[in-house]
Structure 1
Amino acid sequence: MTEIDIPTDADLWVFAYGSLMWRPGFEAVEQACATVDGYHRALCIESHRHRGTPERPGLVLGLDQGGTCCGVAFRAPAAAVPSALAHLRERELVTGVYLEVMLPVTLADGRRVSALAYVVDREHAQYVGLLSHDETLRRVSGSVGLAGPNVDYVLNTARELDRLGVPDTALSSLASALTVSTDE
């Protein structure tokens, strides 16, 4: 749960790739589609609290090594940075599975900014890596945590990516399978 030193007297960009895209929880004066290289979005983290329990862990997204990830960058104004950081750290650094880092991000208009991001710690016990489609579907389908059903988390993220026009084949495929299984 290491926090990095982030100046609180200037605006702060935050890169979102999962639920932060559709529920950032902090004041932003600008948002833009954005891309980060060297990482990809993956359901690679067991959730024992928000989207599952220790007995029935759910899966949440991590920014994992390799590839490219399209998401959303939010710019928090300097006056809101202390409260934004407090919110993000309370939300993302609960178990230490995420590492707080600054990454170079390319905004849709071509600007390059440095953005706060939360990447998965591959050495953490909650990191499960790449699971099969069937195993991912099984885990997500039956898990509920303090923040609600794991299915809702995946479907909301897939809907937001669709709304933004951001392709994510693996998440779309999983969302389609989850929609079919919940309709039956």
Structure 2
Amino acid sequence: MKQFWIFGYGSLMWRPGFAFERSAPARIHGYHRSLCVYSHVHRGTPEQPGLVLGLDRGGSCHGLAFEVAPERWSETIAYLRAREQVTSVYLEKVTTARLTTSGQTVEAVTYVVDRSHRQYAGILDEQALEHHVRMGEGVSGHCIDYVANTLAHLREMNIHDPALERLAGRLGSQAASRSS
């Protein structure tokens, strides 16, 4: 029987929005988690973009893999495309994910940033990161909440993300009060 998996590295970890059979901590290679996408809808606007995570080239990324029942696969992919592809900043890719508790490898759909897209922010300095996160607010809420929730869930999974930790330190009590 074919298995169907989704790999989440940001808000999909704490708000998947689709039914799944099970989830497991997982790691993919060839991409790393990065606040490298200007958000024009969910956490910002074109006039005042926030930042959201993308998988960018290089390194590896710990996240969460979700197994989806075969009969729910079509509706799950349709939901994810509507959610993740609002402005087509991500490329839908199939990657190999290693479930960290069992060592099993699975093929998982994930969303990788399109470096040629106008919303690709690339590597921003810490001041620019902080500015966009403080100012960004869109249809899914404030960018600070997004960063705080993602970081809280990474910590629950014992995943250390130095870049998000530094940013949270710069955001100070504003981020801490929003994640509680």
- Does the TM-score normalized on the shorter chain lie above 0.5? yes
TM-score (norm: length of structure 1): 0.91
1:47 aligns with 2:32: no
The C-alpha deviation readout for 1:117-170, integer Å capped at 9, x for no partner, is 100000000001010111101110011101110000010000000011111111
Q: Of the candidates 119, 127, 135, which is equivalent to residue 126 of structure 1?
A: 119
Rounded to whole Å, the distance in 2 between the matches of 1:120 and 1:42 is 10
Match of 1:71 in 2: 63
Give 1:43's aligned amino acid: L
Rounded to whole Å, the distance in 1 between the matches of 2:57 and 2:119 is 16
Match of 1:102 in 2: 94
1:140 aligns with 2:133: yes
TM-score (norm: length of structure 2): 0.93
Rounded to whole Å, the distance in 2 between the matches of 1:74 and 1:134 is 34
1:166 aligns with 2:148: no
Give 1:154's aligned amino acid: V
* C-alpha deviation, 1:179, in angstroms: 3.2
Give 1:12's aligned amino acid: F
Give 1:136's aligned amino acid: L
Instruction: Report the count of equivalent residues.
Output: 176
Q: Of the candidates 149, 156, 173, which is equivalent to residue 142 of structure 2?
A: 149
The C-alpha deviation readout for 1:80-120, integer Å capped at 9, x for no partner, is 11111111010011111100010011101100110001000
Task: Quickly say closer, same or farther: Cα 1:81–1:166, change in 2 above 3 A.
Answer: same
Q: What is the aligned-residue identity percentage?
A: 47
Give 1:26's aligned amino acid: F
* C-alpha deviation, 1:57, in angstroms: 0.3
The two structures, once aligned, show a CA RMSD in angstroms of 1.5
Unmatched runs of 5 consecutive residues or more in structure 1: 1-8
